[in-house]
Amino acid sequence: MIPPIANRFVAGESIAEALEVAAAQNQTGLSVILNQLGEHYDDPAAAASDRDDYIRMIRDIDAMELDACISVKPTQLGLDLGEDVFRGHLDAILDVAADHDTFVWIDMEDHKTTDATIEAYEETVQAHDGQVGVCLQANLRRTSDDLERLAPLPGKLRLVKGAYKEPKAISYRKRSRVDQAYRDLIKQAFEQCDGGIAMGTHDDAMLELAAKLHEEHGTPYEVQMLMGVREELQRELAENVEMYQYIPFGDKWLSYFYRRLMERKENLLFGLRAVIGR
């Protein structure tokens, strides 16, 4: 059971709990992205189990008529066991998603998975009429080239700053340099993308830039933010732009919750207040 201190950021341990939170957020005007926590499986049974959970969730989303999509991690679907394992599980999920008109995001993980993730996206987005998206990380030096490569495809590209500490030779380390790379990618995406753009950020300056570029280019875009982070702003944005809340759930919640607390000072203060009862 997830303690009250963590349920600001994690929507329970079960699919049923996550769907209940999703329905509640839909009522406030937010679309949602559901992600079952899990990564780097070395057990084939674990990867197959999460595949089956996502398939069940897609059917439940349709049956409940939720405004929701899903997001999966390649190593959660068995990439560490082999690309064929990952692709087999991904294809199974995408086939069911197509039957139920559910969009599927492929998360990006550390740099060792980038090529396999991009290749999977390239092949599947064509076969599924653009109902697939992939995440690109601004802290990797290669990302501008990846964006140019993927921009003509019909799916969506999610732009984030990047959460993994990567080798210096292939990444930007300074926050100011990552911010500049992110700004450059936003501009590039609005100029080049044929499909949609997703802004995965809580940064006001980046959101303002995206709104400005949307007015200039007319390129469709959406904003994605995490559950429990700036939720008042999320509802304000939903009045003018397509707004998605990223909702994680599952029994592997502890490490995720810890990362959220340490990311922002206000998150840490929230946690401390919950502990001391103030």
User: In angstroms, rounded to a whole number, what is the distance separating the alpha carbons of residues 56 and 110?
Assistant: 28
Residues 171 and 207 sit within 8 Å (Cβ to Cβ): no
Out of 50, 60, 107, 146, pick the active-site residue.
107
Out of 158, 203, 235, 278, pick the active-site residue.
158
Q: Catalytic: 107?
A: yes
The alpha carbon dihedral of 229, 246, 123, 129 has a sign of negative
Q: b/e per residue, 151-182, with b = 16+ CB within 10 A?
A: bebebbbbbbbbeeebeeeebbeeeeebbebb
Q: Catalytic: 158?
A: yes
Residues 93 and 72 sit within 8 Å (Cβ to Cβ): yes
User: In angstroms, rounded to a whole number, what is the distance separating the alpha carbons of residues 35 and 212?
Assistant: 30
Residues with active-site annotation: 107, 158
